[in-house]
Structure 1
């Protein structure tokens, strides 16, 4: 079968691992959203949002349903949100968000992920001050003027509204996430967002030039990808990741 078969098998294994992690990620998010509110997306906007995002990532229905059933039962699993900050090659900046049932274990694993790749885990607050924490929405069933009027009437504190290609992008402070989301649902309970998230957006960006720096960058992302507790990774590097 030779080299071609080995490459194809490795690619399939990597795809399967990525899919497994995505499923595990949304299983936790949906479970927590259901436990913190009602386990019914029709009466829990945060849960509805989590399920919608999961479906966009092609998470199977049985994974979503198992998470909901788990939340409805007497299960007492508890996950804690944890955020880690660190420095990559050429003083690049990283923020790693996790959802874990064992914070001590996760901290050790994240520290190892940075160290083994040649990066460095920092202290709390060492990186976040160089990012903005924004609520970001994108819709494709309303125009910019309609969105602006809707959010102004609801007294939402929005930073920017702009048309980007076929979507209208709304940027607000992270604290406005629930209010903006609920405002859209108030006029359309079946609203489907193209994008719906709270994200860390860097104030400045850097481009890696040295091959050694690119190798560290890709290895760090690979290491973090292998950890099922990792939910999101934000950084200020403009280079495309090598697959």
Structure 2
């Protein structure tokens, strides 16, 4: 869904955010676990930027403070889950490319599950690295407008100095994009401006997208949702263009 952050995708596609809160919490808990594991069991957000970002994202989905604290305590303990990150690339039907990021404690299970989802939806799993060139790795920050205390134009000017490459202004949100290497610099800029993004992540933005007839696009949406429903899947990126017609159909489906 071209040009939109994953947060915007979820917001536009389905208000199932509340229905899938358990999935969101599981995703964030895994993010906390990996952030601590990859920093030699450092559970201090002051000195672990990845953990600080994971906590920020946890707050963005309204995860209770005690749940966050329990997740940190478990991840720093001797019985911490042994999660690792793995990714998959492949094609869905109609030539739509997919990049799937997972966090798992059982690689064999995850490989089998991802392959099965592709197969059931007439897609195919590719080799690692075969489709990575179709996506740009970008930092994406989503800010609620009501948390911004300075003029939007002034904010944009300050963030451009910190590396912002693109802005999207929506009714309730401002979405800021930055290059992969400027993610940390942009995070610091928001801290200095006393602005706490609702969501901040490194995402894979499609270089080019493909528009499909509505019936075919809905087949792709079903494939996206099948991946999102898998417990090991953290993020789903693809090259489907979110047209106004498709967006209206999804909103209607959500309302029924």
Instruction: Give your verdict on TM over 0.5.
Output: yes
> CA-to-partner distance for each residue in 1:183-210, whole Å, 9 max, x for gaps?
332454xx31144111111122222216
Deviation at 1:225, TM superposition (A): 2.4
Determine the C-alpha separation between the residues in 1 that align with 2:80 and 2:233.
21
Structural RMSD (CA): 2.7
> Is it true that 1:148 corresponds to 2:157 in the alignment?
yes
Q: 1:45 aligns with which of 30, 41, 49?
A: 49
Determine the C-alpha separation between the residues in 2 that align with 1:219 and 1:33.
31
Correspondence list, 1:23-62, <5 A: 23-37=25-39, 38-62=42-66
In the alignment, structure 1 segments of 5+ residues that lack a partner are 1-13
Distance 1:98 1:183, change over 3 A: same
In the alignment, structure 2 segments of 5+ residues that lack a partner are 1-15
Q: Which residue of 2 aligns with 1:119?
A: 123
The TM-score normalised by the length of structure 2 is: 0.75
Correspondence list, 1:96-175, <5 A: 96-139=100-143, 140=145, 141=148, 142=150, 143-149=152-158, 152=161, 156-161=162-167, 168-175=174-181
Check the 8 A contact 2:56/2:198 in 1, yes or no: no
Q: What's the secondary structure of 1:126's corresponding residue?
A: coil
* Paired residues, number: 224
Q: What's the secondary structure of 1:148's corresponding residue?
A: helix
> Is it true that 1:218 corresponds to 2:204 in the alignment?
no
Q: Which residue of 2 aligns with 1:200?
A: 204
Q: What's the secondary structure of 2:136's corresponding residue?
A: strand
- Ranked by relative contact order (alpha carbons within 8 Å, sequence separation 6 or more), the top structure is 2
Distance 1:224 1:183, change over 3 A: same
> Is it true that 1:63 corresponds to 2:72 in the alignment?
no
Q: What's the secondary structure of 1:41's corresponding residue?
A: coil
| Comparing 196-205 and 134-143, the one that deviates more | 134-143
Check the 8 A contact 2:159/2:186 in 1, yes or no: no
Where has structure 1 moved over 6 Å in runs of 4 or more?
A: 14-17
The TM-score normalised by the length of structure 1 is: 0.78
Determine the C-alpha separation between the residues in 2 that align with 1:159 and 1:168.
13
